[in-house]
Amino acid sequence: MFTIEEIKTAHSKVKSGAEFPSYIQEIKALGVTFYEVFVADGRTDYYGANEYKTSAPPKYDVVEVADNYNAEGFKADLKAHQQGKTNYLTFIADCA
């Protein structure tokens, strides 16, 4: 199974949202079937076959998450991030 260190190594290659698809392919090759990122603090749970789960600790201080979801705003923020216009923390702040 995969480790947080392997995932960190794959993630270290990502410099912008434009490189994110390659990262996803790399962690899939490691055995990650899906993962959950908690916007409030950046902690992440990674899942693999046979109910395997490993977790990464929070990445940043807790941010306040809006009570209402803005689908159009999220889509615009995601597109900008994927085009390399924002870094990850800016993307998270925009989404929160």
Cut 0.75: pTM above it: yes
In a structure prediction context, what are the per-residue pLDDT tens digits for the chain, which is 96 residues long? Answer: 999 999 999 999 988 777 889 999 999 999 999 999 998 999 999 999 999 999 999 999 998 888 999 999 999 999 998 888 888 889 888 988
Amino acid at 53: K
With beta carbons less than 8 A apart as the criterion, state whether 82 and 14 touch: no
Joined tokens for residue 52: 């395997």
SS3 state at 58: coil
C-alpha span between 55 and 79 (Å, rounded): 27
Residue 48 CB neighbour total at 10 angstroms: 17
d(CA 40, CA 10): 23
pLDDT score at 72: 96
